[in-house]
Structure 1
């Protein structure tokens, strides 16, 4: 596996022809003192300027006809981060991304991976790499085209996607 960071990771999106699919399985991605999360919990306004590079990436991909899909497997009841991420996900959807939610208790843990990942065109897998620690910062993707790994990731993708609910229809159970 090769670690793709920065532009090398962004190129995975640029090279995709049909789909970029992301599976998220963690309940937290930032520490409790993450400024946008703190502002959200305090009910303070947010300009989301920090999020624009990602939204531009989604728009560029979808404008080329590439579907950008994301499934989030979440614990119920939702924690503060999940509520925050769900709130921000409306911006993902407005940019063209299909974001869906799957309560963790509705899928057998054996049908999931232990890591987050992206799969591009059902042929290139990039396992999400974080700095060490529970709330480590994202640093890139460990990329592989190994056919057995790709086949397994495709199985997980199809299973999760078949159970996940679109953001617009998802309410915390």
Structure 2
């Protein structure tokens, strides 16, 4: 699987005409930028300032009428299956 940069991801999301669907398949999504906020969250403190640019982009898109759902909805469904049964 070839990973794309966050800039390329944002470009693709911003080009959505009607709706975007996000399906996560990786086992781990750890990134160094989120280590500090995650540690704070474990201690009961919410620190989501690092998400400001992402939330701003999604807010702008949804206010423009695009649907940026992070889960399957209505007639959409996905069930990833490992072909090797592992």
TM-score band by shorter chain is 0.5 to 0.7
Cα shift at 1:3 = 6.3
Structure with bigger strand share is 1
Give the number of the structure with larger relative contact order, counting CA–CA contacts within 8 Å between residues 6 or more apart. 2
Residue in structure 2 matched with residue 42 of structure 1 by the alignment: 43
Cα shift at 1:38: 1.4
TM-score scaled to structure 1, two decimals?
0.36
List gaps (5 residues or longer) in structure 1: 72-99, 101-156, 162-173
Unaligned runs of 5+ in 2: 80-86
- Mapped to 2, the partners of 1:36 and 1:4 lie a distance apart of 24
2:77 corresponds to which of 159, 165, 173: 159
1:17-28 to 2 correspondences below 5 Å: 17-28=17-28
TM-score scaled by length of structure 2: 0.65
Asked if structure 1 preserves the Cα contact closer than 8 Å seen for 2:21 and 2:70, the reply is yes
Q: How well do the aligned residues superpose, as a CA RMSD in angstroms?
A: 3.0
Distance in 2 separating the partners of 1:69 and 1:11 = 17
CA distance in 2, matches of 1:3, 1:30: 14
The answer (yes or no) to whether the contact 1:24–1:70 under 8 Å persists in 2 is no
The number of aligned residues is 74
Go from structure 1 to structure 2 and tell me whether the alpha carbon gap of 1:42 and 1:3 turns closer, same or farther (over 3 Å shift).
closer
User: Counterparts of 1:71-90 in structure 2 under 5 Å?
Assistant: 71=71
